[in-house]
Structure 1
Amino acid sequence: MDRKKRVLLAVSGGIAAFKAAAFTSKLVQADYDVKVIMTENAQKFVTPLTFQALARDHVYTDTFTEPDPGYIAHIDIADWADLIFIAPASANVIGKLANGIADDMLTTTLLAATAPVYIAPAMNVHMYAHPAVQRNMKQLEADGFIFVEPDEGYLACGYTGKGRMAEPEDLLSMVDHFFIRKSHPEWHNKKVVVTAGPTQEVIDPVRFLSNRSSGKMGFSLAAEAAARGADVTLVAGPVSLPTPHGVKRMDVVSAEEMYQIVMAQTSHADLIIKAAAVADYRPAETSEKKMKKSNDPLEIKMERTKDILMELGQRKEKTVLVGFAAESNNIKEYALQKLAKKNADVICANSVIEAGHGFQGDTNALTLFFKNGTSADIPLTSKADASRKILDAIAPLMEGVK
């Protein structure tokens, strides 16, 4: 598809219309071509001029306003869209669509549309739970509409509960996933396990040993795999990153906890990407009370943690196994040693001392070493882009995995 991907945003009446404006801005920034339909009630919350400025296009508000005599507007924009998003979707609009009512620009266009439709409800908690609304939603689901479950929290009406429209960032992720998934059928329903972040090995109730891993590389890989349609489990060490859309997250703290969780996932995984920086050693003894400082030197006896990648390599049959090697010198030599010793299929190696290549940043540069003796360089780029290139390189290895 050489042209921009097209998203038709339908905005109905509700205070969450202000979120739709933010959603429009994010879509345009992500290089989508956006057109907006507004109901009469939506215009009481946000003006059409706001959406016109954000989308940089005419805003459609009236079925009988035809800006171009060569086209019938509601048919033309219905045919134009690659994807339609109703956000916010009021109980009124949901009820109309479920019963085939077309009495305004939004509902008339939706009846003429053949593109996939996502619906993001927004309403009072009791309205959302009402049997009539639930019945209408079930009918629309049966008709092929895809619902974006509302969040729980404080609502504009003063209630606290389920009914708050999903955040614009989440809606954008869904749009991204829709288009990415279409381009990568080979990833659909593959079982992928990704580890990310550091581990913390406890010394006493207030101290621990850890490293500088931020988890950003692993989280980016999990996000990209989920966007492609994979069933992704992310085993995350203690980091403050938000869970990527469509990813099942399991939080751990120590190397032992990560070992136990990862090993429990191995039987059903098609691909395991071990991007976490797991501690190699932990204190042999842990103090239950805070250790008091003194003038004497402190010695902490250390013991080896379990080598997760090594054991995965020993256990694997058809599972594709990808490891990471963060090195300060002799990167190729150490990566190839790790590839052979751990029985991995791919080792992604990078420097931890070159600017932009190491922990905590948003960029990375890697060399991928494959079991068949080949290698591939990924020049310095964002971790999101690096994730795309890593998964593209791994994809041929997934062909024989069922």
Structure 2
Amino acid sequence: MLNNKKILLCVTGGIAVYKAAALTSKLVQAGAQVKVIMSESAAKFVAPLTFQALSRNDVYTDTFEEKIPGAIAHIDLADWPDLIICAPATANTISKLAAGIADNMVTTTMLASTAPVWIAPAMNVHMYNHPAIKRNIETLYEFGYRFIEPAEGYLACGYVGKGRLEEPEKIAELADRFFQGGKGDLKGKTILVTAGPTRERIDPVRFISNDSSGKMGYAIAEEAVKKGANVILVSGPVTIQPPNGAMVIDVESAEEMYHAILSNFDKADIVIKSAAVSDYRPKTSYEYKVKKKPGDETIELERTKDILKELGTLKTHQVLIGFAAETNNLEEYARKKLLEKNVDLIVANNVKTKGAGFGSETNIVTLFRRDGSGESLPIMSKHEVAKRILREAFILAEEAGK
């Protein structure tokens, strides 16, 4: 998918610059056209001549050096690419971009471009976790930039932690996935989607539930219908109009959702479990309204079935995608869920983050894959997130020959 794709690689100063040279080679070998811009600091680690030889194109380092008479280099470069990758991206460059500072060839060109931008940070673990850097990363998310999360391991500074530039092979693979976005016809596929909350009855007028609106799951179902899939939507109680063309199964409790999913699981090619299923239910559910009494009342709870875990045990040919709505330790819990539930992809979000919570029209998610990679997406409408999830599902199904 990278054949003849135009990729602008922006390289900033850090020991990981040597990996950017390897990335250039990988992209060129895959058929991409690569042009490289280097910051002054980056050129102190690896000579521009290295990138020129690997990319077979001029390397740009100086905003005021115009290689083509009659053209403004940073504007030409800004308009040229299908994708911009900044790798490695230093704390300094991230902060400049977030503040709109254009004081070198890299930042000037990136700020002048309307192309999709990926940022691949590389820095000391404490620097990466500094509140200022976290704030600037969040700002760039809001601008629409995407981030390739740094890996954990031994860093050049001697520390062990998160801050290593992702491996060139993985970045090239992510770029390939990105350009597969034009593919994804789901005609002939059966997709089972779950959406909304569940309600666990205390009595006829009271229940335990959560704030899920169902908007994410309904967006997935609608976009899957548009792509030609046969869609089965198992929905908890919501107020959204279901998409035309989907078979909707309305349920209320976790137990009802469990049976509805199991009865359709074998016929599904792809299962996307975005519903927020209650983990607990009242051990006793009354058929009549429980009346107030003096003093406190205690409700004993019992676990509901772990639907995702059971699907992970039962799956044979299905691609299984789960969701993780967290409020802290997002990556830790998502990766744990990915392995323990035996799913192919986890879509995780922090519901406390503005623009990513229940009921909103937007979402901010990170995709965690079984190969260990993680891909953070910027704030998007839930329909755009749905398209991205379906693209991932298509790729997983194609890879597995499903």
Q: TM-score range by the shorter chain?
A: 0.5 to 0.7
Structure 1 partner of 2:373? 374
What is the CA deviation profile of residues 312-369 of structure 1, one whole-angstrom value per residue up to 9, with x for unaligned ones? 0000112000000000000000000000000000000000111111101110000000
The alpha-carbon deviation at position 185 of structure 1 amounts to: 6.1
Asked if the contact 1:185/1:229 (under 8 Å) is kept, the reply is no
Asked if the contact 1:214/1:359 (under 8 Å) is kept, the reply is yes
What is the CA deviation profile of residues 213-250 of structure 1, one whole-angstrom value per residue up to 9, with x for unaligned ones? 00000000011111101100000000010011211111
Structure 2 partner of 1:391? 390
Q: Distance in 1 between matches of 2:401 and 2:284?
A: 42
Q: Distance in 1 between matches of 2:325 and 2:184?
A: 31
Structure 2 partner of 1:218? 217
The alpha-carbon deviation at position 401 of structure 1 amounts to: 4.3
What is the CA deviation profile of residues 17-74 of structure 1, one whole-angstrom value per residue up to 9, with x for unaligned ones? xxxxxxxxxxxxxxxxxxxxxxxxxxxxxxxxxxxxxxxxxxxxxxxxxxxxxxxxxx
Structure 1 partner of 2:238? 239
SS of the aligned residue for 1:258 comes to helix
One-letter identity of the residue aligned with 1:283: P
Structure 2 partner of 1:208? 207
Structure 2 partner of 1:284? 283
TM-score normalized by structure 1? 0.54
Structure showing greater radius of gyration is 1
Q: Distance in 1 between matches of 2:308 and 2:231?
A: 18
Q: Distance in 2 between matches of 1:335 and 1:271?
A: 20
SS of the aligned residue for 1:217 comes to helix
Structure 2 partner of 1:259? 258
What is the CA deviation profile of residues 113-157 of structure 1, one whole-angstrom value per residue up to 9, with x for unaligned ones? xxxxxxxxxxxxxxxxxxxxxxxxxxxxxxxxxxxxxxxxxxxxx
One-letter identity of the residue aligned with 2:334: A
Q: Distance in 2 between matches of 1:185 and 1:353?
A: 32
The alpha-carbon deviation at position 398 of structure 1 amounts to: 1.1
One-letter identity of the residue aligned with 2:378: P
One-letter identity of the residue aligned with 2:372: G
Structure 1 partner of 2:198? 199
Q: Distance in 2 between matches of 1:211 and 1:302?
A: 15
Asked if the contact 1:197/1:237 (under 8 Å) is kept, the reply is yes
1:1-400, aligned counterparts within 5 Å? 186-399=185-398, 400=400
One-letter identity of the residue aligned with 1:249: V
One-letter identity of the residue aligned with 2:304: T
Q: Distance in 2 between matches of 1:201 and 1:371?
A: 33
SS of the aligned residue for 1:220 comes to helix
Asked if the contact 1:319/1:401 (under 8 Å) is kept, the reply is no
Structure 2 partner of 1:7? none
What is the CA deviation profile of residues 149-192 of structure 1, one whole-angstrom value per residue up to 9, with x for unaligned ones? xxxxxxxxxxxxxxxxxxxxxxxxxxxxxxxxxx6564111010
SS of the aligned residue for 1:379 comes to coil
Q: Distance in 2 between matches of 1:339 and 1:331?
A: 12
One-letter identity of the residue aligned with 1:393: E
Asked if the contact 1:331/1:351 (under 8 Å) is kept, the reply is yes
TM-score normalized by structure 2? 0.54
Aligned length: 220
TM-align CA RMSD = 1.1
Identity of aligned residues (%): 49
In the superposition, relative to structure 1, how do residues 401 and 269 fare at CA in structure 2: closer, same or farther (>3 Å)? farther
Asked if the contact 1:358/1:364 (under 8 Å) is kept, the reply is yes
Asked if the contact 2:356/2:362 (under 8 Å) is kept, the reply is yes
Residues 333-342 or 377-386, more deviating: 377-386
Q: Unmatched 5+ residue regions in structure 1?
A: 1-182
Q: Distance in 1 between matches of 2:192 and 2:364?
A: 22
One-letter identity of the residue aligned with 1:384: H
Q: Distance in 1 between matches of 2:382 and 2:184?
A: 23
Q: Distance in 2 between matches of 1:321 and 1:185?
A: 17
SS of the aligned residue for 2:266 comes to helix
Q: Distance in 1 between matches of 2:245 and 2:375?
A: 29
Structure 2 partner of 1:129? none
SS of the aligned residue for 1:245 comes to coil
Q: Distance in 1 between matches of 2:215 and 2:376?
A: 20
Q: Unmatched 5+ residue regions in structure 2?
A: 1-181
Q: Distance in 2 between matches of 1:370 and 1:275?
A: 16
